[in-house]
Amino acid sequence: MAWLLLVLLLRLLTLPLLPLTDHTEARYAEIARLMVQTGDWISPHITPTEVFWAKPPLSTWGQALSMTVFGVSEWSGRLPAVLWSVLGVLSLAWMLNGVMSRTQILAAQVLLALCPLFFISAGAVMTDATLGAAVLFVQAAWWRVLGTQGADRQRAARWLALGMALALLTKGPAAAVLALLPVFMHAAWRKHWVAVRAVASDLWVWLICLGVALPWYVVAEVKTPGFVEYFVLGEHVMRFLQPGWKGDRYGFAHAQPLGIIWLFTWVAALPAVLILMVRLPYLRIKQGRGAIAAQIQHSGLEANSRATDLACFALCITLAPLLLFSAARNLIFTYAMTALPGLVILAIAALPKASLQSRGCHLGVLALLLIYGWAFVFKLPQLSRANSDLPLVEAYRQACPAQDCPLSYASKPNYSAYFYTSGRLYSGMPGSPGRPGFTVQRVDRQSTLRASALACNKDRCLLPDSGSESK
């Protein structure tokens, strides 16, 4: 438990250290800031006059609510991701309770929290922490359905319905597929169709799921006609089937090699993957055929025969997003998120129970914490400043403390520029007459203009306008 609390503390302490980077994190932070500014909690906006149709609003609601309570900042924008990640970690414990020992459950929680993608997403203004938590909650509820009967099974099925509603409000139909595909794969493999029928035949399951999720979709379409067509067809079909899809209204398509999701997942779950890469060959070579199956069978509690079924479900959780996205080209690293819990469960199941309390295990966790601490306290803040307009806005504020000087961009501002100027750039910042002006423009790294710039990031610099002097 102490290690898990240390991971949580480290993530909380590092929330304010990194500037919002373009384009993803700064974009979602600006969408949340605009929700607070406009007071429109139905349709997220990407500018004050343009709605954002690419995602449902659940994660944005959390970020905007946090900004309302704590003020607009990087910390408040990132805090909900921590809370969603805590829900994900608790959902994993709920799933494993009664099958694995308390030590194994805690080890699985720590391992999940230390997976690179999970740790990053747990403190980032993105949708991935929300999505990962909702999907894992659905899958944990399914596992509880399998292990219970009567009223307990009914209760677990209705929790599953609530998780599905949260997933639909986070990423729409794609989230439903990510949550349910492993469930149906597992049901087909292990012949759990009776449990599937029990869930599907419960009217309250449908009422909870649709009653929570559907009203927002209806209101959003009525308020901004065309949303459903763009969101369902564009974001869920063309984005994945058409390389370099040109219909994206808010970003750009990522034309990746086929099968890149496997590499993304390998990196995203690196500690768990390394355990499996070392432990499984060792079992096969040192102990012979059947050793892996025997280890899996004995990974649960002594009197529990569900360990093999759990390992099968974990394999389905891992393989579902890999199979789903193997033929897709428009992918990013975070698409590996929902595979992480499956790999973590398999890694813990592959390890001897005694090893989880060994000195080597504790040293491994400590090493990862030190690496993340170094990266998020010292290294990543420098890299983030190179990919954010915060240094430029800070230099402008220092040169013009009253912030009444003209500020213009020679090309379209980044989202971080809008966020850090509190949206003043949308209507321009003409300043007061007679005040010195400043311009942000693209400058090559070899350009001599950098010497006269007040500040620069990776590709832009803040320059005094010709004939004006900065204070």
CA 172 → CA 54, 55, 235, 393, distances in Å? 10, 7, 10, 36
Would you state the pLDDT for residue 238?
58
Does residue 441 register a pLDDT over 50?
yes
Three-class SS state of 462: strand
How do residues 386-408 score in pLDDT, each as one tens digit?
999 999 999 999 999 998 999 99
Average pLDDT, the chain: 90
* Distances from the Cα of 20 to the Cα of 50, 119, 167, 186, 386, angstroms: 21, 16, 25, 40, 11
pLDDT one-digit tens code per residue, 421-435: 999 999 889 888 889
Contacts of 335 (CB under 8 A, 6+ apart): 261, 264, 321, 325
Locate all alpha helices (DSSP H) within 115-243, ordered by sequence: 116-121, 128-146, 150-171, 173-190, 193-200, 203-223, 227-229, 239-241
Report pLDDT digits (tens) over 40-74. Answer: 999 999 999 999 988 999 999 999 999 999 999 99
Q: DSSP states of 69-119 as a string?
A: HH-SSHHHHHHHHHHHHHHHHHHHHHHHBTTB-HHHHHHHHHHHHHSHHHH
State how far the Cα of 432 lies from the Cα of 68, in Å rounded to an integer. Answer: 30
Phi, psi for residue 251 in degrees, rounded to 5: -155, -140
- Tell me the C-alpha to C-alpha distance, in Å, between residue 276 and each of 59, 132, 281, 312: 33, 22, 8, 15
Q: Where residue 469 falls among pLDDT bands split at 50, 70, 90?
A: very low
Do the beta carbons of residue 385 and residue 394 sit within 8 Å? no
% helix, strand, coil for the chain, step of 5: 65, 5, 30
Which pLDDT belongs to residue 471?
A: 39
User: Each residue of 78-95: pLDDT tens digit?
Assistant: 999 999 999 999 999 999
In the prediction, which pLDDT does 470 show?
42
What CA dihedral angle connects 181, 182, 188 and 191, to 10 degrees?
A: -140
Cα dihedral 17, 48, 131, 20, rounded to 10, equals -20
Q: What is the mean pLDDT of residues 98-122?
A: 95
Check residue 237 and give its pLDDT.
65
Dihedral (CA of 215, 218, 222, 224) sign: positive
Three-state DSSP state, 380: helix
Residues whose CB falls within 8 Å of the CB of residue 194, separated by 6 or more in sequence, listed in order = none
Q: What pLDDT was estimated at residue 196?
A: 96
pLDDT given at position 303: 52
**Are 427 and 451 contacting, i.e. CB atoms less than 8 angstroms apart?**
no
Reduced to 3 states (helix: H, G, I; strand: E, B; else coil), residue 453 is: coil
CA 325 – CA 207 distance, rounded (Å): 31
More confident residue, 284 or 162: 162
**Position 145 confidence tier, pLDDT thresholds 50, 70, 90:** very high
What is the Cα Rg of the chain in Å? 24
Higher pLDDT, 302 or 181: 181
Distances (CA, A) of 326 to 179, 234, 278: 17, 19, 25
> Residue 298 pLDDT > 70, yes or no?
yes
Which ranges in 303-379 belong to alpha helices (H)? 307-325, 340-350, 359-374
Question: Could you read off the pLDDT of 311-336 as tens digits, one per residue?
Answer: 999 999 999 999 999 887 778 889 99
Between helices 58-70 and 150-171, what is the axis angle to 10°?
A: 80
Would you say the pTM of this structure is higher than 0.85? yes
Using the Cα atoms of residue 246, residue 248, residue 252 and residue 256 in order, give the sign of their dihedral.
Answer: negative
The pLDDT > 90 percentage for the chain reads: 72
How far the first Cα of the chain sits from its last, in Å, is 53
Q: What is the pLDDT of residues 220-276, one digit of tens each?
A: 999 999 888 888 776 766 555 555 555 566 655 556 788 899 999 999 999 999 999
253: phi then psi, degrees, rounded to nearest 5: -75, 145
Q: Are 267 and 333 in contact (CB under 8 A)?
A: yes
pLDDT band at 190 (very low <50, low <70, confident <90, very high): very high
What are the structure tokens assigned to 319, written together?
């393989």
